[in-house]
Amino acid sequence: MFKGFAPFWVYSLLLVGLFSCKKFTEISPLSSLAESTAFTDPAKIELVANGMYEQAAVGSYAGGGGRGYPFGAASIEQAEMRGEDMVNLATFYAITYQSTQNATSANNVNHWEQLYALINQANVLITGVTGAVSSGIITSDVGNAYEAEGRFIRALSHHELLIHFCKPYAEGKGGQLGVPYREVAVNSPAAVNEGLALGRGTVAEDYAKILEDLDYAEANLPEKQTNGVARPTKGAAIALKTRIKLHMGDWAGVIAEGTKLGTGVTSGAFSSPIGGYKLESDPAVPFASFANNSESIFSIANSASSNGGVNGALPAMLGPSDQGARGLVATSPNLYNASFWVTGDKRRSELQVLNTNDGLYYTYKYRDYTTRTDWAPIIRYAEVLLNVAEAYSRTGNTAQALRLLNAVRDRSVPDANKFTTAPANLTLAILQERRIEFAAEGRRWPDIHRLALDPNYGLGGGAGIPAKLNPTQISNSSYNVETRPYITPGRAAIAYSDYRFLWPIPTSEISSNPTLADQQNPGY
């Protein structure tokens, strides 16, 4: 480790982090793979790429075994615990749930460090394949495709950092402090110095770079991958752009990107001419068959031999204890009973499960409690449709917004509850639909974050972090779709202006990086 260098770079400094990818990919790598040899033949380059996905799925925790940082499970778990639609029942997520984090709290520290470790692996891949093309080891088309994968992961990772450590784009059109957008592989003393000199820039600058990376990914990724949805495709890059532009409030941009994926048709079922994406007829199918369904666009793969483990895999952390999971996080009765979640909705009957040990309801989206092979869903076609529905609604095209909303909603609700005309507040109905459709998929905090300053759809009273239930407030009788009781949260909302809305840059970074030492978030 170079003197004075931030610890997160250690994970992929001179080696490309492939020591454990055999478990993840079932490919036998070399026992160690230095960058001087990693890009000398096509098979080794594929190992480098697989190592990047291993880092995305499992990461590391306190220098040891992974706990699903950053995308194996942690991005979903953390984003749900920052919201109010799931209830933390134990100490494991207490800091995140209660917003009592500081610059040394494990969850936010590891999220920052492991995201930047992943970004560096993406940069190592990008730099290496560029050299391999120049040396004639791989063709330019193959090299461009690998670079596009690296850029996709780099864009996804930087956006994950933005929604936790920075103010939303809506504040000053992105004029607030962003995160360092790392585009250089840190693999030499000179690169270390360059990395240390890079400041936070602005949120707007980060979004511009994210879109630049995704434009490149769209242009150079294939429509299909032999690894299925475990590797990004052209459609995945476009889908992610609908999300990014939604966070920017660029409604026309959301519509334009979504149109590429088939959201502009005005009759018949929605399907994408790129990638062949379409909604499954049953909302449970994408979770019963993570690797083989028409709706998933990009997911992070896990396997029995490589996953976040009992302390980091989605089924272990979010599942009920009577089926072998830890029973740490229950669905909030206030979501379960919400008036907008109608009686007879399949997403309640098929994707919620009663824990007979405590009488509470838990998500049933991740259900392999024994070997923990459930994949982490990053983006589905349902999200693309709802992203575009919101953009159409906000720009006045009520008819198309309603078609897109109904496409997602109608497969789950009884006929009597289907919308035949637009609700009085269509945008609100779309936002409520997101809470149901993406429950336990980590989309709640990103929505809270992007809507924080929205005068019509942000949390009321200037709240930035919603009021939440304490675990002692709920029991089996709290869940009742006939009487639909509402429980007044015992944990007060936290104002958007409160410093706790943002996570702090970790002490491990601040103490080693003189540039960021002067750019810590206020209050920490």
* Across 367-382, average pLDDT: 97
Q: Are strands 376-380 and 494-495 parallel, antiparallel or unpaired?
A: unpaired
* Across 352-376, average pLDDT: 97
Q: Are strands 361-363 and 352-354 parallel, antiparallel or unpaired?
A: antiparallel
The burial class, CB within 10 Å (0-12 / 13-18 / 19+), for 301 is buried
Q: Fill in the DSSP letter of residue 504.
A: P
The pLDDT confidence band at residue 313, using thresholds 50, 70 and 90, is very high
* Across 71-76, average pLDDT: 94
Count of Cβ atoms closer than 10 Å to residue 411 Cβ:
16
pLDDT tens, residue by residue, 382-438: 999 999 999 999 999 999 999 999 999 999 999 999 999 999 999 999 999 999 999
SS3 category, 306: strand
Amino acid (1-letter code) at residue 206 = D
Within its chain, how far is the Cα of 87 from the centroid? Answer: 19
Q: Are strands 494-495 and 352-354 parallel, antiparallel or unpaired?
A: unpaired
pLDDT tens, residue by residue, 127-150: 999 999 999 999 999 999 999 999
SS3 category, 471: helix
pLDDT tens, residue by residue, 204-213: 999 999 999 9
The pLDDT confidence band at residue 379, using thresholds 50, 70 and 90, is very high
Tracing tokens 């035949």 back to the chain, one arrives at 420
At residue 14, does pLDDT exceed 60?
A: no
pLDDT at res. 197: 82
The pLDDT confidence band at residue 187, using thresholds 50, 70 and 90, is confident
Q: At a CB cut-off of 8 Å and minimum separation 6, what does 135 contact?
A: none
Q: Quote the mean pLDDT of the chain.
A: 92
Please name which of 366, 402, 362, 365 lies closest in space to residue 385, comparing C-alpha atoms. Answer: 402
Q: At a CB cut-off of 8 Å and minimum separation 6, what does 394 contact?
A: 251, 427
pLDDT tens, residue by residue, 423-441: 999 999 999 999 999 999 9
Q: State the Cα–Cα distance between residues 35 and 52, nearest whole angstrom.
A: 14
Amino acid (1-letter code) at residue 312 = G
Please name which of 314, 326, 342 lies closest in space to residue 440, comparing C-alpha atoms. Answer: 314
pLDDT at res. 37: 84
Model confidence, pTM:
0.94
The burial class, CB within 10 Å (0-12 / 13-18 / 19+), for 501 is buried
pLDDT at res. 186: 86
Q: State the Cα–Cα distance between residues 166 and 520, nearest whole angstrom.
A: 11
The pLDDT confidence band at residue 1, using thresholds 50, 70 and 90, is very low
* Across 474-498, average pLDDT: 98
pLDDT at res. 89: 97
The burial class, CB within 10 Å (0-12 / 13-18 / 19+), for 222 is middle
Torsion angle of C-alpha atoms 101, 106, 110, 113, degrees rounded to 10: 70
Backbone torsions φ then ψ of 15, nearest 5 degrees: -110, 155
Structure tokens at 75: 């991005």
Long-range contacts of 494-499 (CB under 8 A, 24+ apart): 494/99, 494/463, 494/464, 494/465, 495/461, 495/462, 495/463, 495/464, 496/452, 496/453, 496/458, 496/462, 496/463, 496/464, 497/462, 497/464, 498/464, 498/465, 498/523, 499/523, 499/524
Q: State the Cα–Cα distance between residues 123 and 127, nearest whole angstrom.
A: 6
At residue 6, does pLDDT exceed 70?
A: no
- Residue 378's H or E segment, with its range, is strand 376-380
At residue 310, does pLDDT exceed 80?
A: yes
At residue 3, does pLDDT exceed 90?
A: no
The pLDDT confidence band at residue 189, using thresholds 50, 70 and 90, is confident
The pLDDT confidence band at residue 339, using thresholds 50, 70 and 90, is very high
Q: Radius of gyration (Cα) for the chain, nearest Å?
A: 22
Q: State the Cα–Cα distance between residues 270 and 268, nearest whole angstrom.
A: 7
Contact 430, 390 (CB under 8 A): yes
DSSP string, 164-189: HHS--TTGGGGTSB------S---SH
Q: State the Cα–Cα distance between residues 152 and 166, nearest whole angstrom.
A: 20
Q: State the Cα–Cα distance between residues 82 and 194, nearest whole angstrom.
A: 34
Can you list the domains of the chain with their CATH numbers?
7-307+374-517 (1.25.40.390)
For 269-282, b/e burial (b = at least 16 CB within 10 A) is ebbbebbebbbbee
DSSP string, 41-67: SHHHHHHHHHHHHHHHHT--BTTBS--
pLDDT tens, residue by residue, 34-69: 677 899 999 999 999 999 999 999 988 877 778 899
The pLDDT confidence band at residue 106, using thresholds 50, 70 and 90, is very high
At residue 28, does pLDDT exceed 80?
A: no
